Amino acid sequence: MDIRKFGLSFNATFEKWMFLIIPCSLVLGFLLERPLSPFVPAVPYLFAFVTLTMAMGCGLRQLQGVMKRPGIMLLTFLLAHVVSAVIAYAAGTAIFGAHSPYVVGLVLFTIIPLGVSSVLWVGMSGGSVPLMLAMVVLDSLLSPLVVPAGIHLFFGTDVAVESGPLMLDLTILIVLPTIIGVALNEWSKGKIAEQSKPFAAPISKFCFVAVVALNASAIAPYVDKLKHDMAVLVPIVVVLVGVCYAVGFAFTAGLRDREVQTTVSYATGMRNISLGIVLAMGYFSPLAAVPVVLSILIQQPIATVHHYVLHKLNKNKTGETVRTHVR
């Protein structure tokens, strides 16, 4: 058996069925709470490897390319971390009250870095993969500043969180693996991502599944206590995730650039949820992790719906263009 071909085949299959595998790993974590809970301390290391693998696909050339389009980058970050956060805070406060840990979780979802899996969806939907990958890397590098600042901005002293340890953890979890990954990309002249993909990509997928399952096992003891809240909380999370996609799509419509619109809409819609769970469990009430965990169940299926909508829109636009030329 060719191990390289097997690794690539496994990775492609995983990405194809990711919208089912991730929710299943979440359920598995709940069901195997006791045997998995001793391994929860391994989560930061697993997550760091996922980040490293992602960063190896991005070099300084991609980052420089984004720097040449600062307007797109700034607009994306504002939509993802400011506009979406305001919507999350307003909706959460109106429904649960300003002091609810659920509000913290909803806001946390919007201020954590852009999701790594968005790169996959952008590629399948006709967006700009280099732009998306570079924005994920840059947003990850900025997370030690963005996340503490966002929590302080919305909650002030109402939420007790030490910014110093939080920034240090984000640096270890996100910044250092990202810098190492980009450095490896430069050292190998961009070859390391492709050369290591048959091995690193499947391992990173296993690490991602493990992060989701282990964190689910960590919050499992609290789930029974909030069953009565789920009837309200689940629809709110569904709407919020959908709104995040819509915000990116609507605010870039005026650019008349389908590639950019596709890229930004996925960027604003998808978040690094595994990091969000790590932060919620480490720095906030376990109840604050619940909206973030629920978003795992919702983010990928909505990405599938968004892909379908974009495909239909592009198909219709192509048809209209053809009819115009015929006339």
What's the pLDDT tens digit per position in 75-127?
Answer: 999 999 999 999 999 999 999 998 888 999 999 999 998 887 787 788 778 88
Cβ(319)–Cβ(249) under 8 Å? no
Residue 149 CB neighbours (<10 A) = 15
The residue to which tokens 């300003």 are assigned: 98
Residues in Cβ contact with 133 at an 8 Å cutoff, skipping those fewer than 6 apart = 54, 57, 58, 62, 119
Least confident of 76-90, 224-238, 256-270: 224-238
CATH class entry, domain 3-217+229-326:
mainly alpha
Rounded-to-integer distance, Cα 164 and Cα 289, Å: 21
Rounded-to-integer distance, Cα 141 and Cα 144, Å: 7
Per-residue pLDDT reduced to its tens digit, 143-182: 888 888 898 888 876 665 666 777 777 777 777 888 888 8
Q: Name the percent of the chain lying above pLDDT 90.
A: 18
Helix axis angle for 289-326 and 101-111, nearest 10°, is 40
Rounded-to-integer distance, Cα 220 and Cα 99, Å: 23
Better-predicted residue by pLDDT, 117 or 205: 205
Helix H or strand E segment including 163? helix 163-170
Q: Which of the given ranges, 150-154, 216-220, 292-296, 321-325, has the highest pLDDT on average? A: 150-154
pTM exceeds 0.85, yes or no: no
**How sure is the predictor about 324, in pLDDT bands with cuts at 50, 70 and 90?**
very low
Buried residues in 70-95 as b, exposed as e (16+ CB within 10 A): eebbebbbebbbebbbebbbebbbee
User: What residue ranges do the domains of the chain occupy?
Assistant: 3-217+229-326
- Partnered with residue 271 across adjacent β-strands are 114
Position 110 scores a pLDDT of 94
The first and second tokens of residue 263, run together, are 């890229």
The first and second tokens of residue 28, run together, are 């598995």
CA angle 214, 159, 139 (to 5 degrees): 60
